[in-house]
Amino acid sequence: MNLTQKKDRIKLFKADQELPYHLLLLADETIEAIDKYIHDSEIYIYERDQKTIGIYACQLLDGESLEIKNIAVSEEYQGEGIGQKLLSHAISNATKRGFKNLMIGTSNAAFQQLYIYQKMGFRFHKVLKDFFTDNYKKEIVENGLVLNDMLLLKKDLQVEEVEVLQQS
Ligand code: ACO
């Protein structure tokens, strides 16, 4: 075995473990906001050599849809493809379980996120106007823009996709 080889895996987060807020806070502004969805979300973590370096949390919307409420990769590991692996995992997991679509929301200023989500097959679905100005006490600026609208993207799930994602 190559001793320098890294051991990566995505696994279900156990309810008795301490929530890694330091990661969740990369994707959301406050613990208060995270606490609104995290306790009834299914959470998966990305581990490298047993260290948690990525996370995503999915919430059930109805019998047909799930929403990824939070996805984050530790800053020092961003840009390696881990975010896309987490999205692939969420897509194939939701597809295998018979969900018809997967949603994900982000801000008007989140250019990188909008790029990755579209690259992974998500399409624009809805604009929640003034979501950030209405729901957060302080003004938030990202990429030089004030966050105002939430863009909700949706991916229709098809069974054949599971096989493609599992091979990649
Ligand atoms: N603009 C456009 N694309 C960019 C930019 C940029 N400024 N910077 C990097 N990219 C591209 C890269 O080239 C790469 O694309 P490629 O594979 O085609 O070359 C892609 O973005 C990065 O892909 P990954 O490496 O798979 O992504 P990463 O592991 O960094 O994870 C994530 C992405 C989760 C968004 C991570 O950067 C992160 O944790 N960011 C902070 C938290 C966050 O914003 N989370 C999402 C909030 S929305 C929500 O949680 C529902």
Q: What is the pLDDT of residues 64-96, one digit of tens each?
A: 999 999 999 999 999 999 999 999 999 999 999
Its pTM surpasses 0.75: yes
Residues 115-155: pLDDT tens digits? 999 999 999 999 999 999 998 888 999 999 999 999 999 99
| 60 or 161, greater pLDDT | 60
Q: Is the pLDDT of residue 35 over 70?
A: yes
Ligand 1 neighbour 59 (Cβ under 6 A) = no
DSSP 8-state code for residue 10: E
Whether the per-residue pLDDT at 165 is higher than 80: the answer is no
- Rg of the chain over all Cα atoms, to the nearest angstrom: 16
Q: How far apart are CA 162 and CA 94, in angstroms?
A: 9
In this model, does residue 15 exceed pLDDT 90?
Answer: no
CA distance 29 to 24: 9
Ligand 1 site, residue 103, Cβ cutoff 6 A: no
Q: What is the pLDDT of residue 31?
A: 95
Residues 6+ apart with CB under 8 A from 80: 73
Check pocket membership of 91 for ligand 1, CB cut-off 6 A: no
The residue contributing the CA closest to ligand 1 atom 35 is 113
* pLDDT for residue 136: 86
Q: How far is the CA of 43 from the centre of ligand 1 (A)?
A: 19
88 CB within 6 A, ligand 1: no
β-strands 101-107, 65-73 pairing: parallel
Distance from C-alpha of 71 to C-alpha of 25, rounded to nearest angstrom: 10
- Report the separation in Å between the CA atom of 105 and the middle of ligand 1, taken as the mean of its atom positions: 14
Cα distance between the two ends of the chain: 23
How far apart, in whole angstroms, are the C-alpha atoms of residue 131 and residue 148? Answer: 6
Asked if pLDDT for residue 160 goes beyond 80, the answer is no
106 within ligand 1 shell (Cβ under 6 A): yes
User: Ligand 1, atom 3: nearest CA belongs to which residue?
Assistant: 112
Greatest alpha-carbon span in the chain: 54
What is the CA(5)–ligand 1 centre distance, in A? 24
More confident call, 60 vs 4: 60
CB atoms inside a 10 Å sphere around CB 59: 17
